[in-house]
Amino acid sequence: MWRSLRSRVALAFLWLYEWVLARLGRTPDYGILELEIEGALAEHPGDSGFAPWLRPPARDFLGLLSTLRWAAEDPRLRGVLIRCRGIDASWARLQGLRRSLAALRAAGKKVWIHTDGAGLPEYYLASAADRISLTPAGSLDVVGLASESMFFLDALESLGARAEVVHVGAYKAAGEMFTRREMSAEHREMMESIIDDLYTQIVDDIAADRGIGSAGVRDAIDHGPLLSAEALERQLIDAVEYADEAQAALVKSLSDAATIEEADYVPRRMRAIRKRLLRAPRRHMAIVHVNGTIQVDGGDPAPWARRRGATSSELAKSFEEIRERDDIESVVVRVSSPGGSGLASDLIWREMSRTAADKPLFVSFGDVAASGGYYVAMAGRKVFAEPGTLTGSIGVVAGKANLKGVYEKVGINKEIVSRGRHAALYSDYAPLGGGERERIQAEASKFYEDFVAKVAAGRRMPAPEVDKVAQGRVWTGRQALSRGLIDELGGFEEAIAEAKRAIGVAVDRPVTVERFPKPQTPWLLALGRRFGGMSLRLDPLALLPDPARLVVRERVWAVLPFRIRIR
């Protein structure tokens, strides 16, 4: 009864607030939404880059999807004008956004995109619009798709360091960056397959949306970058004009409809959504983000740093709170991780499994869900991935760093006194002996067996069938679907819709959502870092990429060895 009374009071306040705004002329009519899509579309509101607590939180990926969905459902809205530039996002997020633009068009809205200049990410997104315009001095920097794999062997040798690495899985190439100067045959085969499939996806999607043949798209990319006139001639764009001219053209095509900017539109739509929520019984769900390198403890990064990966300790607290709260009815776990620590991956999987035993839990893959990122997902009832999500990498790498040469170069000598045959196993000053290498190989093999077993149970597949598509091999989401490694192609919104259906809620009905782990406030950050007695600590490992830091700090890793950039 108390909750019902609070809802009625809140609803009355919203109506009063809207009435006051209307009387003050603060709610003018509109027909066209103007918004910008640019920069890093963070998966989590805490992943906001440099000095996140010194400025207001940026709009994140889920927030943008929500805005586009609200626009599709808004009967007042007749068109959307998007300025698109400098997007820092990979395949999964771009494909999710393209699907949102398609939903806008299906709802009868005109979707126009203007860009001052676009690379392949921006153009791939823009190709889903009704109309694309490009600034006269701009260009389409569409030159193809490339992968980059780094190899540190020469650098390590120059420092006097050596990586003692073993791996399980013929395609598990993460350790190769420390032990080779170039790709192995298996590594190259895997990369060729991934790049071929991703490139085919982008070409076919652009060709379908622009109404031109795939051969024409491939030829245009091969001749890129393209000047604005060249892009127009090849039918990749519809107009060469400035942003104000694009706006004027859309306004005229919609009978001089009024425009509204995103900053004004979102609060108005949020108030409308709140009214709907207050008129019905409250339904509540959780979204948990597993982002970045998976670690047991991410340490205490500097105040100016971004979030440092997915830590098992922080996620364990989140899942424990979710299990204890009766108001949270279902859970969506958003995984965007190349993996990391094998131990941390297992601990997160355990917490997700415990939560899934109490409440419906679904998994949505972001740009990458590989190795440890794929491992944790096996606790989900259903797994969604975009066609371009890097998926799988069911394999293990183990070992340690031998830094004896580094110490000697800087004039440091270590004397080891030990009892026990393998007491110096974890020393960074002693090489692996034959028996010690066998022990680490056995540990990695056992972890791989457990990994395959968890996949077999989670995917309801025989272990031998899992092993055939495992071996450390990475697949695209589309390839993973055909091999039974995921349940369905889709993204954030498809997983949320499934979580609604699991608790008997209509897909089009709004629910309240709580996100975990919760971003820390500036005061909590200050307290957590003990600014009163702060000391400066330089960590040279922070200069290395995450996999390189793992070779020093962890013994068993489940991590992706490469990145793919879209250009």
Structural domain contains residue 507: yes
Q: Do 358 and 231 fall within a single domain?
A: no
Look at residue 436 and tell me if it is in a domain. Answer: no
State how far the Cα of 530 lies from the Cα of 520, in Å rounded to an integer: 14
Distance CA 352, CA 381 (A): 11
Mean pLDDT on 363-391: 96
Considering only CA atoms, which of 499, 125, 174, 507 is closest in space to residue 334?
A: 499
Measured between alpha carbons, how far is residue 7 from residues 11, 21, 258, 328, 504 in Å?
A: 6, 21, 33, 18, 22
Domain that holds residue 94: 2-143+224-273
Alpha-carbon dihedral sign for residues 433, 434, 440, 444: positive
In the block, tokens 């609070």 appear at: 6
Same-domain status, 479 and 555: yes
Domain count, the chain: 2
Share of the chain above pLDDT 90, in %: 59
Same domain (yes/no): 113, 62: yes
Residue 438's φ and ψ, nearest 5 degrees, are: -65, -40
Judge residue 249's burial from the number of C-beta atoms within 10 Å of its C-beta, 0-12 exposed, 13-18 middle, 19 or more buried: middle
Question: Of 273, 307, 330, which residue is a domain's last?
Answer: 273
Residues 369 and 469 in one domain: yes
Of residues 411 and 136, more confidently modeled: 136
Q: Is residue 319 part of a domain?
A: yes
382 lies in the same domain as 296? yes
Q: Does 235 lie in the same domain as 110?
A: yes
Write the burial class of residue 272 (CB in 10 Å: 0-12 exposed, 13-18 middle, 19+ buried).
middle
pLDDT in tens, 132-154: 999 999 999 999 988 888 898 89
Q: Is the pLDDT score of 537 beyond 70?
A: no
Mean pLDDT along residues 535-544: 39
pLDDT tens, position by position, 38-50: 998 888 876 554 4
In angstroms, rounded to a whole number, what is the distance separating the alpha carbons of residues 340 and 560?
8
Q: What is the pLDDT of residue 473?
A: 95
Helices 91-106 and 185-210: angle between axes, nearest 10 degrees:
20
Residue with tokens 């306004």: 251
Residue 420 is assigned to a structural domain of this protein: no
* Residue 565 confidence class, pLDDT cut points 50, 70, 90: low
Residues 366 and 236 in one domain: no
- The residues pairing with 401 across neighbouring beta strands, listed in sequence order, are 163
Give φ, ψ of 114 to 5 degrees.
-120, 140
CA 450 to chain centre: 26
Residue 274: predicted pLDDT: 77
Note the pLDDT of residue 520. 57
Share of the chain above pLDDT 70, in %: 81
* Closest to 66 in 3D by CA, of 566, 519, 521, 515: 515
Q: Is residue 431 part of a domain?
A: no
Q: How confident is the model at residue 14 (pLDDT cuts 50, 70, 90)?
A: very low
Domain annotation covers residue 36: yes
Residue 26 to residue 1: CA distance in whole angstroms: 35
- The answer on 311 and 266 residing in a single domain is no
Query: Is the confidence at residue 527, as pLDDT, over 70?
Result: no
Question: Which CATH number covers residue 123?
Answer: 3.90.226.10
CA–CA separation, 140 and 11 (whole Å): 49
The answer to whether residues 309 and 337 belong to one domain is yes
* pLDDT at 5 exceeding the cut of 90: no
Dist CA 248 CA 198 (whole Å): 36
The two tokens of residue 51 are 């000095």
Q: Answer whether residue 215 is part of any domain.
A: no
Q: Where does a domain end: 248, 273, 298? A: 273
pTM of the model: 0.86
Distances in Å between the Cα of 168 and the Cα atoms of 333, 395, 415, 446, 550 are 28, 6, 33, 10, 17
Query: Would you say residue 87 lies in a domain?
Result: yes
The separation between CA 303 and the C-alpha centre of its own chain, rounded to angstroms, equals 23
User: Average pLDDT of the chain?
Assistant: 85
Q: What share of the chain is helix, strand, coil (3-state, %, to 5)?
A: 45, 20, 35
pLDDT, one tens digit per residue, over 337-352 is 999 888 999 999 999 9
Shared-domain flag, residues 308 and 248: no
Give yes or no: residues 361 and 494 share one domain: yes
The pLDDT of residue 173 is above 50: yes
Judgement on whether residues 361 and 503 belong to the same structural domain of the protein: yes
With a cut of 60, say whether residue 197 has pLDDT above it: yes
| The domain boundary residue, chosen from 216, 250, 273 | 273
- Residue that wins the pLDDT comparison between 408 and 101: 101
